[in-house]
Amino acid sequence: MLFLLFRVAAMADFYRRPGWTRVETAAGPLVLPEPVAETTRLALADLATRFPASSTVAGYPEAGFFNYVLGRRNPFAHEQYFPGHLDAAGQDRAAAAFAARPPDAALYANVLAVGEGARSFGKDYLEKLDGTIRSRTRTVAVYGPGAREGARIGDPGFFVEIRVPADAADTPAAP
């Protein structure tokens, strides 16, 4: 019992230290460490203002959080793209589905598959799917300390990149 009390106190202390920030979302608030909190806040604001509520959003390697808090639909069968989720035929089907009907917004979040040896989407796995996404979309915004042109998952610094179909009409800039 003493050990349990110590663990609870240690965890409470850890999550109340400086560097954790409350992020308000339509689904309720959450507390995230910086710089993830500010990056998330900016990406959410952009998606909410740039795209109508009926828009579709897909994320790589995953963006279920954004779909959930914004009430946006993912048009594809898979919501996560981590190592081992798709074999070669599955990757071909996912790439073909993306090419045939890309979502209104495609997100890249600089999230590593740490449970799989810190592997990077598009570099260490699912290269063909990544190539299809990048060839059929263009960047409209990148947020976070790792935000820069050409940023790739696995690069230093957290970022969220928002992409739209390459042939889409110009999207309004988010505030």
Question: What is the count of structural domains for the chain?
Answer: 1
Distance CA 52, CA 63 (A): 17
Task: Show the CA angle centred on residue 132, arms to residues 128 and 134, nearest 5°.
Answer: 115
Q: Which domain holds residue 91?
A: 2-165
Confidence of residue 152 (pLDDT cuts 50, 70, 90): very high
Is residue 157 scored above 80 in pLDDT?
A: yes
Q: Give the three-class secondary structure for 59.
A: strand
Beta bridge partners of 59: 107
Say if 71 falls within a structural domain: yes
Confidence of residue 7 (pLDDT cuts 50, 70, 90): confident
At 141, list the tokens. Answer: 């915004």
Say if 173 falls within a structural domain: no
Say if 100 falls within a structural domain: yes
Is residue 4 scored above 80 in pLDDT?
A: no
pTM: 0.85
Percent of the chain exceeding pLDDT 90 equals: 67
Q: Do 38 and 159 touch, CB atoms closer than 8 A? A: no
Say if 128 falls within a structural domain: yes
For the stretch 72-95, pLDDT in tens is 999 999 999 989 889 999 999 999
Say if 171 falls within a structural domain: no
Say if 38 falls within a structural domain: yes
Q: What is the pLDDT, as a whole number, of residue 168?
A: 80
Say if 174 falls within a structural domain: no
Is residue 175 scored above 60 in pLDDT?
A: no
Is residue 37 scored above 90 in pLDDT?
A: yes
Q: Do 123 and 154 touch, CB atoms closer than 8 A? A: yes
Distance CA 161, CA 139 (A): 7
Distance CA 71, CA 8 (A): 33
Say if 131 falls within a structural domain: yes
Task: Show the CA angle centred on residue 156, arms to residues 152 and 159, nearest 5°.
Answer: 60
Percent of the chain exceeding pLDDT 70 equals: 86
Which amino acid is it at 58?
A
- Read off the pLDDT of each residue in 105-128 and give the average, rounded to a whole number: 87
